[in-house]
Amino acid sequence: DAGVIQSPRHEVTEMGQEVTLRCKPISGHDYLFWYRQTMMRGLELLIYFNNNVPIDDSGMPEDRFSAKMPNASFSTLKIQPSEPRDSAVYFCASSLSGGGETQYFGPGTRLLVL
Amino acid sequence: DQQVKQNSPSLSVQEGRISILNCDYTNSMFDYFLWYKKYPAEGPTFLISISSIKDKNEDGRFTVFLNKSAKHLSLHIVPSQPGDSAVYFCAAGRRFQGAQKLVFGQGTRLTINP
Protein backbone atom coordinates (compact mmCIF):
# COMPACT_ATOMS: atom_id res chain seq x y z
CA ASP A 1 0.00 0.00 0.00
CA ALA A 2 1.22 3.47 -0.85
CA GLY A 3 1.72 5.74 2.09
CA VAL A 4 1.34 9.49 2.15
CA ILE A 5 3.07 10.99 -0.87
CA GLN A 6 4.60 14.45 -0.88
CA SER A 7 6.22 16.45 -3.63
CA PRO A 8 8.67 17.88 -4.17
CA ARG A 9 11.03 16.29 -1.66
CA HIS A 10 13.33 19.29 -1.81
CA GLU A 11 12.66 22.86 -2.85
CA VAL A 12 15.09 25.74 -3.04
CA THR A 13 13.69 29.13 -3.91
CA GLU A 14 14.44 32.79 -3.55
CA MET A 15 12.76 35.13 -1.17
CA GLY A 16 9.57 36.56 -2.61
CA GLN A 17 8.80 33.59 -4.82
CA GLU A 18 5.66 31.49 -4.56
CA VAL A 19 6.10 27.97 -3.25
CA THR A 20 3.57 25.16 -3.61
CA LEU A 21 3.89 21.93 -1.69
CA ARG A 22 1.77 18.93 -2.61
CA CYS A 23 0.35 15.98 -0.74
CA LYS A 24 -1.55 12.85 -1.59
CA PRO A 25 -3.03 11.19 1.51
CA ILE A 26 -3.51 7.48 2.03
CA SER A 27 -6.50 6.33 0.02
CA GLY A 28 -9.64 6.25 2.12
CA HIS A 29 -8.31 8.50 4.86
CA ASP A 30 -10.64 11.38 5.61
CA TYR A 31 -8.35 13.58 7.68
CA LEU A 32 -5.35 15.41 6.30
CA PHE A 33 -2.85 17.40 8.34
CA TRP A 34 -0.05 19.80 7.44
CA TYR A 35 2.87 20.16 9.87
CA ARG A 36 6.05 22.18 9.88
CA GLN A 37 9.28 21.19 11.60
CA THR A 38 11.92 23.72 12.55
CA MET A 39 14.82 23.65 14.99
CA MET A 40 13.29 26.41 17.08
CA ARG A 41 9.66 25.30 17.25
CA GLY A 42 9.87 21.58 16.60
CA LEU A 43 6.99 19.84 14.88
CA GLU A 44 3.88 22.00 14.85
CA LEU A 45 0.44 21.58 13.34
CA LEU A 46 -0.48 24.18 10.74
CA ILE A 47 -3.91 23.14 9.50
CA TYR A 48 -6.08 20.08 9.07
CA PHE A 49 -8.95 19.01 6.86
CA ASN A 50 -11.83 16.60 7.25
CA ASN A 51 -13.50 15.36 4.09
CA ASN A 52 -11.70 18.10 2.14
CA VAL A 53 -13.02 20.86 4.42
CA PRO A 54 -10.58 22.92 6.52
CA ILE A 55 -11.41 22.36 10.18
CA ASP A 56 -8.73 24.20 12.10
CA ASP A 57 -6.19 26.60 10.62
CA SER A 58 -5.17 28.21 13.89
CA GLY A 59 -1.60 27.03 13.40
CA MET A 60 -1.11 28.78 10.07
CA PRO A 61 1.55 31.38 10.83
CA GLU A 62 0.54 34.21 8.53
CA ASP A 63 -1.68 35.18 5.66
CA ARG A 64 1.18 34.31 3.35
CA PHE A 65 0.31 30.67 4.02
CA SER A 66 -2.73 29.03 2.47
CA ALA A 67 -3.86 25.44 2.10
CA LYS A 68 -6.45 23.79 -0.08
CA MET A 69 -7.88 20.35 -0.57
CA PRO A 70 -9.81 20.28 -3.85
CA ASN A 71 -10.52 16.56 -3.59
CA ALA A 72 -9.99 13.58 -1.33
CA SER A 73 -6.68 12.62 -2.89
CA PHE A 74 -4.86 15.94 -3.15
CA SER A 75 -3.89 18.89 -1.01
CA THR A 76 -1.59 21.87 -1.46
CA LEU A 77 0.17 24.20 0.93
CA LYS A 78 1.14 27.47 -0.68
CA ILE A 79 3.45 30.19 0.59
CA GLN A 80 3.28 33.51 -1.21
CA PRO A 81 5.55 35.38 -0.94
CA SER A 82 8.13 33.13 0.67
CA GLU A 83 10.64 34.39 3.24
CA PRO A 84 13.89 32.88 4.58
CA ARG A 85 12.21 32.16 7.93
CA ASP A 86 9.84 29.80 6.12
CA SER A 87 12.75 27.42 5.61
CA ALA A 88 11.73 24.18 7.30
CA VAL A 89 10.60 20.64 6.63
CA TYR A 90 6.90 20.46 5.85
CA PHE A 91 5.08 17.22 6.55
CA CYS A 92 1.70 16.02 5.44
CA ALA A 93 -0.13 13.33 7.42
CA SER A 94 -3.44 11.55 7.09
CA SER A 95 -5.69 9.51 9.34
CA LEU A 96 -8.94 7.62 9.26
CA SER A 97 -11.81 8.53 11.53
CA GLY A 98 -13.09 5.56 13.45
CA GLY A 99 -9.92 3.66 12.71
CA GLY A 100 -7.91 4.80 15.66
CA GLU A 101 -6.11 8.02 16.25
CA THR A 102 -2.92 7.32 14.40
CA GLN A 103 -1.69 9.88 11.92
CA TYR A 104 0.52 8.56 9.14
CA PHE A 105 3.18 10.93 7.89
CA GLY A 106 4.67 11.49 4.49
CA PRO A 107 8.42 11.83 3.91
CA GLY A 108 8.29 15.62 4.05
CA THR A 109 9.37 18.47 1.81
CA ARG A 110 12.56 20.25 2.78
CA LEU A 111 12.16 23.91 1.86
CA LEU A 112 15.02 26.36 1.70
CA VAL A 113 14.23 30.00 1.00
CA LEU A 114 17.31 32.05 0.13
CA ASP B 1 4.66 27.72 26.06
CA GLN B 2 5.67 24.10 25.56
CA GLN B 3 2.81 21.82 26.45
CA VAL B 4 4.81 18.67 25.75
CA LYS B 5 8.40 18.38 26.85
CA GLN B 6 11.09 15.84 26.27
CA ASN B 7 13.84 17.01 28.57
CA SER B 8 16.55 14.70 27.29
CA PRO B 9 17.77 15.74 23.83
CA SER B 10 19.79 12.56 23.56
CA LEU B 11 20.22 9.15 25.11
CA SER B 12 22.85 6.49 24.57
CA VAL B 13 22.16 2.86 25.48
CA GLN B 14 24.06 -0.36 25.03
CA GLU B 15 22.57 -2.97 22.73
CA GLY B 16 20.44 -5.47 24.64
CA ARG B 17 19.75 -3.12 27.53
CA ILE B 18 16.55 -1.22 28.25
CA SER B 19 15.99 2.21 26.72
CA ILE B 20 13.69 4.54 28.64
CA LEU B 21 12.49 7.73 27.01
CA ASN B 22 10.52 10.26 29.00
CA CYS B 23 7.93 12.88 28.22
CA ASP B 24 6.04 15.40 30.36
CA TYR B 25 2.93 17.36 29.50
CA THR B 26 1.11 20.23 31.11
CA ASN B 27 -2.42 20.14 29.72
CA SER B 28 -4.72 17.76 31.62
CA MET B 29 -7.17 17.88 28.71
CA PHE B 30 -4.96 15.66 26.57
CA ASP B 31 -6.64 12.28 26.19
CA TYR B 32 -4.39 10.39 23.82
CA PHE B 33 -0.65 9.95 23.68
CA LEU B 34 1.60 8.58 20.98
CA TRP B 35 5.24 7.85 20.31
CA TYR B 36 6.72 8.33 16.87
CA LYS B 37 10.12 7.29 15.60
CA LYS B 38 11.96 9.27 12.97
CA TYR B 39 14.93 8.41 10.80
CA PRO B 40 16.83 11.13 8.91
CA ALA B 41 15.14 12.34 5.72
CA GLU B 42 11.97 10.40 6.51
CA GLY B 43 8.66 11.30 8.07
CA PRO B 44 7.79 10.27 11.63
CA THR B 45 6.61 6.67 11.88
CA PHE B 46 3.97 5.68 14.40
CA LEU B 47 5.29 3.39 17.10
CA ILE B 48 2.80 2.97 19.91
CA SER B 49 -0.04 4.85 21.59
CA ILE B 50 -2.06 4.94 24.79
CA SER B 51 -5.41 6.33 25.74
CA SER B 52 -5.76 8.39 28.90
CA ILE B 53 -8.02 5.72 30.39
CA LYS B 54 -5.12 3.27 30.49
CA ASP B 55 -1.80 3.34 32.27
CA LYS B 56 0.13 0.85 30.18
CA ASN B 57 0.20 -0.42 26.63
CA GLU B 58 2.56 -3.04 25.31
CA ASP B 59 3.51 -4.00 21.76
CA GLY B 60 6.38 -6.42 21.41
CA ARG B 61 9.57 -4.79 22.64
CA PHE B 62 7.82 -1.46 23.18
CA THR B 63 5.82 -0.46 26.24
CA VAL B 64 4.33 2.93 26.99
CA PHE B 65 3.48 3.93 30.54
CA LEU B 66 1.18 6.79 31.45
CA ASN B 67 1.08 8.48 34.85
CA LYS B 68 -1.77 10.96 34.67
CA SER B 69 -1.31 12.37 38.13
CA ALA B 70 2.27 13.25 37.29
CA LYS B 71 1.43 14.17 33.70
CA HIS B 72 4.22 11.93 32.58
CA LEU B 73 4.64 9.19 30.02
CA SER B 74 7.54 6.98 29.16
CA LEU B 75 8.54 4.59 26.42
CA HIS B 76 10.45 1.45 27.30
CA ILE B 77 12.31 -0.51 24.65
CA VAL B 78 13.51 -3.94 25.71
CA PRO B 79 15.87 -5.22 24.48
CA SER B 80 17.33 -2.30 22.57
CA GLN B 81 18.62 -3.04 19.08
CA PRO B 82 20.89 -1.03 16.75
CA GLY B 83 17.94 -0.40 14.43
CA ASP B 84 16.23 1.47 17.24
CA SER B 85 18.70 4.32 16.82
CA ALA B 86 16.52 7.25 15.74
CA VAL B 87 14.82 10.36 17.05
CA TYR B 88 11.77 9.62 19.16
CA PHE B 89 8.92 12.09 19.49
CA CYS B 90 6.15 11.91 22.02
CA ALA B 91 2.86 13.53 21.10
CA ALA B 92 -0.21 14.40 23.12
CA GLY B 93 -3.61 14.74 21.56
CA ARG B 94 -6.89 16.40 22.31
CA ARG B 95 -9.94 15.66 20.26
CA PHE B 96 -11.24 18.60 18.27
CA GLN B 97 -13.88 18.34 15.59
CA GLY B 98 -13.43 14.60 15.31
CA ALA B 99 -9.65 14.45 15.05
CA GLN B 100 -6.81 14.40 17.48
CA LYS B 101 -4.93 17.69 17.48
CA LEU B 102 -1.43 16.57 18.30
CA VAL B 103 1.23 18.55 20.14
CA PHE B 104 4.72 17.12 19.78
CA GLY B 105 7.72 17.21 22.05
CA GLN B 106 11.10 18.32 20.75
CA GLY B 107 12.37 14.78 20.37
CA THR B 108 15.04 12.58 21.96
CA ARG B 109 17.84 11.17 19.85
CA LEU B 110 18.41 7.56 20.88
CA THR B 111 21.69 5.89 20.01
CA ILE B 112 22.10 2.17 20.55
CA ASN B 113 25.73 1.16 20.89
CA PRO B 114 26.86 -2.35 19.87
**Residues sharing a CB contact under 8 Å with residue A90, sequence separation 6 or more, in sequence order:** A6, A21, A34, A35, A36, A37, A77, A108, A109, A111
Residue B65 contacts residue B22 (beta carbons within 8 Å): no
Whether the pLDDT of residue B1 is over 70: the answer is no
> Does the pLDDT value for residue B64 go beyond 60?
yes
Within 8 A of B101 by CB-CB distance, chain A residues are 45, 48, 56
Q: Do the chains contact at B43 and A107, CB–CB below 8 Å?
A: yes
Q: How far is CA B84 from CA A95, B24, B103, B113, in A?
A: 25, 22, 23, 10
Mean pLDDT of B5-31: 96
**Of residues A71, A17, A77, A21, the one with CA closest to residue A46:** A77
Say whether A48 and B99 touch across the interface (CB within 8 A).
Answer: yes
Q: Residues of A with CB below 8 A from B46's CB?
A: 102-104
> What is the reported pLDDT for A1?
64
Residues A50-109: pLDDT tens digits?
A: 999 999 999 998 899 999 999 999 999 999 999 999 999 999 999 987 656 789 999 999
- Confidence at residue B101, expressed as pLDDT on a 0 to 100 scale: 87
H helix or E strand, kind and range, residue B20: strand B19-25
Under 8 Å between Cβ of A65 and A77: yes
Above pLDDT 70, what percent of chain B?
99
As a whole number, mean pLDDT of residues B84-93 equals 96
Give pLDDT, residue B17: 98
Choose the closest CB to A105 out of B44, B106, B107. B44
- Whether B87 shows a pLDDT value over 80: the answer reads yes
* % of chain B surpassing 90 pLDDT: 89
Predicted local confidence at residue B96, as pLDDT: 78
User: Is the pLDDT confidence value at B10 over 60?
Assistant: yes
Hey, is A88 helix, strand or coil?
strand
Rounded to 5 degrees, φ, ψ at A113 are -110, 120
Biggest CA-to-CA distance, chain B: 46
Provide the pLDDT for residue A98: 61
Cβ contact (<8 Å) for B43 and A95?
no
